[in-house]
């Protein structure tokens, strides 16, 4: 049994589709109940449970249900739920900080903390979806960067603490075509500028991240622990020569 949070759209939905296609049983959770019901049409092995990952009681309810369905064991956990706010640090409030950290970092802590015994019994694998923004700063995303850096640090620390029982790895997507990306990247010129700094010359697809997640959950990666895998088309490999932007 594998739990996927933030499963109703984007990378989360792509992960559910990939895992279900491989025959895994998946408990998917998210706040969009309508999209969640559509997830169950992917296959009989997919169960959707609505929930808000920033609420501890919702996290525990999802985990308890997954443990019941999985006979007390979990083979995997994908902490994908996330949010972002493009806001200058000078304008950010404590409320902004608390909201972003609750969804991106605290939920990761809560799901791992409450699922740990089930993961131990299942010799499971945890994949935390961080971001390249957790490895390098980005203007206007200070709060988001801090939240994703926390996810990376937690991943590496837990890999050291539990590596003989449960594997912990992080995936850092770059610019991926998702609903969240659309919300923070509505300006066509800025999007084109971003594309030009990526060696692949395009944004990535959610399925390309899901491929990496599925591999990290599989028996093909049993000696991979504590790694941070970047999926960004080469964006953070170094500096590119500036290109002329035309829109």
Residues serving a catalytic function are 144
Instruction: For residue 67, give the nearest of 111, 104, 16 by alpha carbon.
Output: 111
Q: Coil, strand, or helix at residue 83? A: coil
Q: Coil, strand, or helix at residue 225? A: coil
Per the CB < 8 A criterion, the answer to whether 24 and 45 are in contact is yes
C-alpha distance from residue 194 to each of 49, 226, 233 (Å): 36, 29, 12
First to last CA, the chain: 46
Strand stretches in the chain, DSSP E = 2-4, 26-30, 46-50, 76-79, 125-129, 167-173, 228-231
């Amino acid at each position: 049994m594998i739990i996927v949070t933030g499963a109703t759209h984007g990378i989360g939905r792509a992960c559910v589709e990939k895992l279900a296609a491989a025959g895994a049983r998946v408990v998917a959770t998210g706040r969009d109940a309508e999209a969640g019901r559509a997830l169950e049409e992917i296959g009989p092995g997919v169960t959707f449970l609505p929930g808000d990952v920033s609420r501890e009681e919702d996290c525990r309810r999802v985990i308890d249900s997954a443990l019941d369905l999985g006979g007390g064991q979990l083979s995997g956990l994908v902490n994908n739920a996330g949010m972002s706010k493009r806001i200058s640090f000078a304008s950010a409030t404590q409320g902004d900080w608390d909201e972003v950290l609750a969804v991106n970092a605290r939920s990761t802590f809560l799901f791992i903390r409450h699922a740990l015994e089930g993961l131990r019994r299942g010799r499971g694998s945890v994949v935390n979806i961080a971001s390249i923004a957790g490895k390098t700063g980005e203007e206007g995303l200070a709060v988001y960067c801090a939240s994703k850096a926390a996810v990376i640090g937690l991943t590496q620390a837990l890999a050291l603490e539990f590596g003989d029982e449960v594997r912990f790895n992080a995936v850092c997507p770059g610019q991926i075509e998702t609903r969240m990306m659309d919300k923070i990247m509505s300006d066509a010129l800025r999007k084109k500028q971003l594309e030009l700094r990526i060696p692949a010359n395009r944004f990535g697809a959610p399925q390309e991240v899901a491929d990496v997640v599925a591999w990290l959950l599989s028996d093909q990666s049993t000696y991979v622990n504590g790694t941070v895998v970047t999926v960004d088309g080469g964006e953070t490999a170094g500096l590119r020569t500036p290109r002329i932007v035309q829109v």
